[in-house]
Amino acid sequence: MSAKVISINISDKKGVRKKAVETALLRENYGIENDAHASETWHRQVSLLALESIDKMRAMGLKVGPGDFAENITTEGIDLVVLPVGTKMTIGAKVEAEVSQIGKVCHTRCAIYHQAGDCVMPKEGIFVKVLKGGTIKAGDEIKVVGSK
């Protein structure tokens, strides 16, 4: 099975569940246009979380889906957490990105954590910087193309 984009999710505020959009424009060294996390000043421009990670939370009885963990791109078929920082990937026909961080510190426990006593995003989500921009959509292929 090849890796692909399941959902693209954005929000206008940080720390909230994101809403799915059909397509998104990723801008070089910025992130997803119209998303609260996009910025030229930091390395966590776009967040990715695997559908397989969301399924772990579903198995705990939570009714959650893509975007509920505030991830920008929900993926399938790629083991995100084993990709070292510096790994380059392509998303769709034009977008190039580089893994900039694995996981994150969860300073404030989100609603998911309070419901389940755990959350997958801090441990299994990754962040990338956009090296080359373009438009992506659900169903686009994700390819790992190398690392530093």
Tens digit of each residue's pLDDT (9 = 90 or more) over 14-37: 767 889 999 999 999 999 999 988
- Report CA-CA distances (Å) from 118 to 12, 55, 101, 103, 144: 25, 13, 20, 14, 29
pLDDT at 43: 84
* Residue ranges of domains in the chain, CATH in brackets: 4-146 (2.40.33.20)
pLDDT at 109: 53
Q: Which residues of the chain have pLDDT under 70?
A: 1, 15, 104-122, 147-148
Sheet of 31-32: strands edge to edge? 31-32, 23-27, 134-137
pLDDT at 89: 97
- The DSSP annotation for 41-56 comes to T-S--EEEEEHHHHHH
63 strand-pairing partners: none
The pTM for the full model equals 0.88
In sequence order, which residues have a C-beta less than 8 Å from that of residue 53 and are 6 or more positions away?
69, 80, 120, 121, 124, 125
